[in-house]
DNA sequence: ACCTGAACACCGTTCAAGT
DNA sequence: ACCTGAACACCGTTCAAGT
């Protein structure tokens, strides 16, 4: 809020915000420290008072992305409580939706731009939250007879692999157009998801 | 072979080769046109006689990567002819192995570094070959009763999504260490793969 | 046809200096 | 404590000029 002050007040968050905007507008290739700095109206070296690195800024933006994905997961969770069939398909759909609506974020988060993620505790923390939510969801699907029994953690990894792989290949335009044109993305995602379910699940239009 | 000539002879391939080497040695962040040029001993503007862009060079290197992956697939195919159970697990393992042995290549190929892949016909061609091989393999697994029946193309997309997602998340260090330490990567990949098989398949040590 | 060298507009990062 | 400006070593890309 309080901008154009000579000490600015909250430059760190302003830089993260500006970085997110540049990412959304012009893609990952245009995300430079100097551009971020100039967008908030500070000198190109000002960011170094708040981030040790470009990597450090990227870690913050990436963490923000995982937080956004997390929010979508939680929204799905709250909306479909006690209906595991819908749970799984809506979670997958939320994943796909996030990727298509915020492609640059998705790319930043899952394309190894951030080199040493283990060194950023906030990043590790929010990643862990995402996985824990997924494990919890898998457990509910298991007790509803929708998924195989067995260690929920392992099954969560399977579900995540399938959904992430599908969405990633879709974003990379590696999905064969023959199949995409015929089925549509959402429908295809549903069919793919059914490879690991015990009962057939169906796509519902509303969220 | 004929180097240090003033017209060089085969600069285009030499640049691709040098780019591959830099990629393998120092990672994707160090891959610059200028460095590639200096490695083969030409001026920094010489590459522009053979590539319109940095993207153009990246397309060539990326295509090279898909060709390498293709070769590994074919090797698996030749080795395990008529044994669909081994087919599937070995294919997944080959995918994982390629990613771990050539992480920079894997990242380059599947991280959206190449912006408009559709504009590079060789890239499109080799991608198509990969998918066709996978479809063919899925058909064999289907007739052996290892995979669900149904359109092989759709199932191929499912298999690929699962394997790619697993390997990608593993490379991004998003796999929970709890499960990784307990199972081991290859074993976990096998367990994950079993989520889509009708019969249980097991990991075999040799390739 | 293929390559060079200077030039331009960008980068990330550092550091002495200012408030 | 927070920010600026000059400086350095890098980029991608262009273009007139050389062979």
Chunked mean pLDDT (size 10), chain B, 207 residues: 56 97 96 98 97 97 97 93 89 97 96 94 95 95 95 97 98 94 95 95 68
Answer whether A50's CB lies under 8 Å from A11's CB: yes
Which chain B residues are within 8 Å of A113, Cβ to Cβ?
111
The phi, psi pair for A55, rounded to 5°, reads -55, -35
Round to a whole number and report the distance in Å from the CA of B163 to the C1' of D14.
44
Q: Provide CB contacts within 8 A for A35, sequence distance 6+.
A: A22
Tell me, what's the pLDDT at A80?
87
Least CA distance to B132: which residue of chain A?
A176
Residue range A57-61: mean pLDDT, rounded:
97
CA distance A32 to chain B (A): 14
Is the pTM higher than 0.85? The answer reads yes
Where does the pLDDT of residue A151 fall: very low under 50, low under 70, confident under 90, or very high at 90 and above?
very high
Tell me, what's the pLDDT at A4?
44
Nearest Cβ partner for A169 among B161, B174, B178:
B161
Nearest Cβ partner for A178 among B153, B162, B163:
B153
pLDDT digits (tens, 9 = 90+) for A77-124: 898 888 888 989 999 999 999 999 999 999 999 999 999 999 999 999
Cβ contact B176–A107 (<8 Å) = no
Tell me, what's the pLDDT at B85?
86
Q: Provide CB contacts within 8 A for B167, sequence distance 6+.
A: B95, B96, B99, B106, B189
Which chain A residues are within 8 Å of B125, Cβ to Cβ?
none
Q: How far apart are CA A126 and CA A131, in angstroms?
A: 9
Q: Tell if A152 CB is < 7 Å from nucleic strand D.
A: no
Residue range A26-46: mean pLDDT, rounded:
97
The Cβ of residue B76 has, within 10 Å, a number of other Cβ atoms equal to 23
Mean pLDDT is lowest, of A7-16, A41-50, A189-198, for A7-16
Which of A195, A196, A199 to mutate: most B Cβ within 10 Å? A195
Least CA distance to A194: which residue of chain B?
B196
Q: Work out the angle at residue B183's Cα, subtended by the Cα atoms of residues A132 and A93, and round it to the nearest 5 degrees.
A: 40
- Percent of chain A residues past pLDDT 70, beyond the cut: 95
Least CA distance to A128: which residue of chain B?
B176
Q: Does position A205 have pLDDT exceeding 60, yes or no?
A: no
Tell me, what's the pLDDT at B89?
94
Residue range A48-63: mean pLDDT, rounded:
97
Specify the residue for token string 């393992």: B93
Cβ contact A162–B164 (<8 Å) = no
């Amino acid at each position: 809020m309080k901008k154009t002050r000579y000490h600015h007040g909250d430059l760190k968050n302003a830089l993260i915000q500006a970085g997110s905007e540049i990412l959304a507008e012009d893609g990952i290739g245009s995300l430079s420290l100097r551009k971020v700095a100039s967008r908030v109206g500070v000198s190109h070296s000002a960011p170094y008072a708040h981030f040790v690195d470009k990597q450090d800024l990227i870690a913050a933006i990436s963490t923000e992305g995982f937080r956004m994905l997390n929010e979508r997961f939680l929204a799905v969770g709250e909306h479909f409580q006690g209906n595991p069939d819908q749970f799984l398909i809506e979670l997958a759909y939320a994943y796909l939706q996030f990727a298509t609506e915020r492609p640059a974020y998705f790319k930043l988060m899952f394309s190894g731009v951030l080199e040493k993620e283990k060194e950023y505790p906030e990043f590790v923390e929010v990643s862990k939250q995402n996985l824990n939510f997924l494990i919890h969801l898998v457990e509910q699907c298991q007790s509803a007879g929708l998924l195989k029994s067995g260690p929920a953690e392992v099954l969560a990894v399977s579900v995540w692999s399938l959904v992430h792989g599908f969405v990633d290949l879709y974003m990379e335009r590696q999905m064969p157009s023959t199949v995409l044109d015929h089925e549509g993305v959402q429908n295809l995602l549903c069919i793919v998801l059914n490879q690991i379910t015990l009962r057939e699940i169906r796509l519902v239009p509303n969220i």
